[in-house]
Structure 1
Amino acid sequence: MDALTDLLDGPRARGAFMLRCVLDPPWSVRIQDEAPLTLVAMVRDEAWVIPDEGGPEHVRPGDVVIIRGPAPYVVADDRGTAPQIVIHPGQHCTTPDGTSLSEAMDLGVRAWGNAPDGRTEMLVGTYQMRGAVTQRLLAALPALAVVRGDTWESPLVGLLGEEIGRDEPGQEVVLDRLLDLLLIGTLRAWFSRPRAEKPGWYRAHGDAVVGPALRLLHDDLSHPWTVADLAARVGVSRAALAQRFGKLVGEPPMAYLTGVRLAQAADLLRESEATLESVARQVGYGNAFALSTAFKRERGVSPQEYRTSPEHRPAAPAR
């Protein structure tokens, strides 16, 4: 397993918020739902995505936008259109002065907007639970990433558009998995751009020494790795590996491994059937106590506190 595969294996939508937005200009929506990650696929017409910090992005049909939260942003038909709608945590929508718009904007099953046949159409998928997207993935992304429709081809947006309005048994699971696939495909396209600002571990993947070392680590997190062991596996000295790894990845091999292990542990803790002892063994810690100590030192909370904290559970969308 390479580092990118491991990273992209992380997204696990659970009860994600999915919506087809249909709007007639002029329109402007301020998003302050505090969600960790949102995808917007432009189907018809054009729009502007305007973060509170950073430059705006003009998006066209076929473009997919990845927005990393929790900072607020605006999506509008034009940069000069003032927000008319505010989306709050739990996907509750109001006017800027607080008047509820939930009923007025409801257009049916997972459809929302100011006109049933509006000129603008977007598909929106929001990961509402922080634990559904790994911190390592969020750290690797800018606040706003746009994959242009003319740079990649995928049937996923069309398939999501077909499924999003259906109301059948198991539909929520279908949509969750489609959102995961769309995110993975979009991220892969974004990371593969010629001038992409790639994380150090991504660039290091192509190195003749560090690339194999990264694959070894990700392929077997439970192995009791040492720098000496890893260096022997890739055929270089311990000093040479440590120096090259630190230069390309930006941190020493064991620090990188600790981060990956704890990120994986955080993901596994979302699974209620996984005991702390089991999680510890899977990510390379000898016992639950060793994992708890490392986890609390790194994250500031114990594994149990992390598992039960409301911020790692999805918020119920407003109706």
Structure 2
Amino acid sequence: MDVVSDAISAVRLGRPSFSRARVGGQWCVRLPPYEGAGFHVVLEGSCWLVPDVGTPVLLGTGDTVLLPHGNGHVLADSPLDAAAAEKATPFEQWIGRDGEAGPRAGTGSGEVELLCGKYRLDRSRVHPLMAELPRVVHLPNRAGSHPELRAAIGLLGGELDDRRPGSGTALPSLLDLLLVYMIRSWMAESTAGAWSGALGDEVTAAALRALHADPAAPWTNERLAAEAGVSRPTLARRFTAMVGRPPMAYLTWWRLTFAATLLRDTQDTLAAIARRVGYGSPYALSHAFSREFGTTPGRYRAQLPAGH
């Protein structure tokens, strides 16, 4: 897997949830802070997103917005001041019981159709790539921009309209794909993100790809430098500057993060997980895991909530 896929897989839990709403007139709805990531796709019309912290954002048809840290916000037909935002209708009351229709409040403005949803995330092991995402990732629908994201939105709209056989599988899969494309699109546009720079740097990106492709390999600085096609000092300097930690320190962190993901998502034995992440024995993995997470692998797995 590549770095972006691994970063998402490390934190994502279960399937995304979503609701479809069509509303007109004057309306205002609040979505409280959430232990995950929220997203909205404007299928038709326009509206305003008013974050609890930050500047209101106008969303137009085809726009996508990701709130990767689950920050509270308001959706409304117009920008609001703080007092008006506090009086917004809670989302759970606003959306219909079937999760597909919001109430209409007059006909003073054009109708808006929205796809609103949430991704469940495990915040205990957030990859720094995910951590550096801004509070609001707004991806406007501009001609020629982000064709993969535009295609995913088109496919989503088709599945929602037609309710074809298999949509129960297609929709969650498309929503997972949407998350990847939103993050990829942000990275393509970002000029400030450290990880956008790291994955755009030929040497650092080659080293990261190698580590993520085979974390169990007996990596050394010399072997990784050869993989990246540079000297050891060059790799150490560029990798540390871009990633924020030396190559072997990042490898250790990623091995343990990957081990936690396997404990969560599989029933593999500790010995099997140790082999997959590059530790010579279950004891060695348990010792390193306890030092990183403050608990043993067995207790970590036992404490996971049912249906995580």
C-alpha spacing 1:113/1:292, structure 2 compared with 1 (3 Å): farther
Match of 1:128 in 2: 120
Instruction: State how far apart, in whole Å, the 1-side matches of 2:126 and 2:101 are.
Output: 29
- Between the aligned partners of 1:171 and 1:132, the Cα distance in structure 2 is 32
Cα distance between partner residues in 1 of 2:125 and 2:156: 20
**Are the aligned partners of 1:242 and 1:253 in contact in 2 as well (CA < 8 Å)?**
yes
* Distance change in 2, residues 1:298/1:11 (3 Å): closer
Contact 1:13/1:176 (8 A) holds in 2: no
**Superposed displacement of residue 308, structure 1:** 4.4
Is 1:243 paired with 2:233?
Answer: no
**Residue identity opposite 1:139 in structure 2:** A
Contact 2:8 2:130 in 1 (8 A): no
- 1:259 equivalent in alignment to 2:253: yes
Letter in 1 for 2:62: G
In the alignment, which residue of structure 2 is the partner of 1:226?
220
Distance in 2 of aligned mates of 1:54 and 1:265: 36
Cα distance in structure 1, aligned partners of 2:298 and 2:164 = 35
- Cα deviation for residue 155 of structure 1 reads 2.3
Question: Which residue pairs with 1:113 in the alignment?
Answer: 102
2:47 and 2:125 map into 1 onto residues whose CA distance is: 26
User: 1:154-193 residue pairs with structure 2 within 5 A?
Assistant: 154-164=150-160, 171-193=167-189
SS in 1 for 2:48: strand
Instruction: Give 1:160 deviation, angstroms.
Output: 1.6
* Shift in Å, 1:225: 1.2
Asked whether the equivalents of residues 50 and 56 of structure 2 are also in contact (C-alpha less than 8 Å), the reply is: yes
CA distance in 2, matches of 1:310, 1:105: 31
SS in structure 2 of the partner of residue 260 of structure 1: helix
**1:190·1:196 contact (CA, 8 Å) conserved in 2?**
no
How many angstroms does 1:64 deviate by?
Answer: 0.5
Amino acid corresponding to residue 303 of structure 1 in structure 2: P
- Identify the residue that residue 39 of structure 2 maps to in structure 1: 39
Q: Find the residue that maps to 2:55 and give its secondary structure.
A: coil
Residue 88 of structure 2: which of 70, 73, 84 is its match?
A: 84
- Partner SS for 1:112: coil
Which consecutive residues of structure 2, in runs of 5 or more, have no partner in the other structure?
none
Q: List per-residue Cα deviations over 1:158-201 (Å, max 9, x = no partner).
A: 322333467787644322211011111222122111x432324x
- 1:2 and 1:51 mapped to 2: Cα distance? 32
Gaps of 5+ in 1: 88-92, 94-100, 315-319
Q: Which amino acid aligns with 1:31?
A: L
Q: Select which of 134, 137, 141 maps to 1:142.
A: 134
2:101 is matched by which residue type in structure 1? W
Using the size of structure 2 for normalisation, the TM-score is 0.82
Deviation of 1:209 (Å): 3.1
Alpha-carbon contact 2:62-2:141 (below 8 Å) kept = yes
Instruction: Say if 2:221 is the partner of 1:199.
Output: no
Post-superposition offset of 1:122: 0.8
Residue 273 of structure 1, CA deviation: 2.6
Q: Percent identity?
A: 35
Given that 1:37 and 1:67 are in contact with CA atoms closer than 8 Å, whether structure 2 keeps it comes out as yes
Q: How many angstroms apart in 2 are the aligned matches of 1:126 and 1:56?
A: 20
Please tell me whether the aligned partners of residues 204 and 210 of structure 1 are also in contact (alpha carbons under 8 angstroms): yes
Once the 2 structures are TM-superposed, how far is the Cα of residue 292 of structure 1 from its aligned partner?
A: 3.0
Cα distance in 1 for partners of 2:164, 2:59 equals 32
8 Å CA contact 1:19–1:164 kept in 2: the answer is no
C-alpha distance in 1, partners of 2:268/2:9? 18
Is residue 273 from structure 1 mapped to residue 277 from structure 2 by the alignment? no
* Superposition deviation, residue 126 in structure 1: 1.0
Q: Is the 8 A contact 2:11 2:122 kept in 1?
A: no
The range that moved more, 144-153 or 304-313, is 304-313
Contact 1:131 1:313 in 2 (8 A): no
Q: Secondary structure at the match of 1:149?
A: coil
| CA spacing shift, 1:248–1:55, aligned 2, 3 Å | same
With a CA cutoff of 8 Å and minimum separation of 6, indicate the structure with the bigger relative contact order: 1
Structure 2: distance between partners of 1:197 and 1:209: 19
Instruction: Give the CA RMSD over aligned residues.
Output: 3.2
Is the partner of 1:55 in helix, strand or coil? coil
Cα separation, 2, equivalents of 1:162 and 1:8: 26
Tell me the CA shift for residue 240 of structure 1: 3.0
Q: Deviations over 1:37-80 (max 9, x none)?
A: 12211112222222222222221111110102343222222222
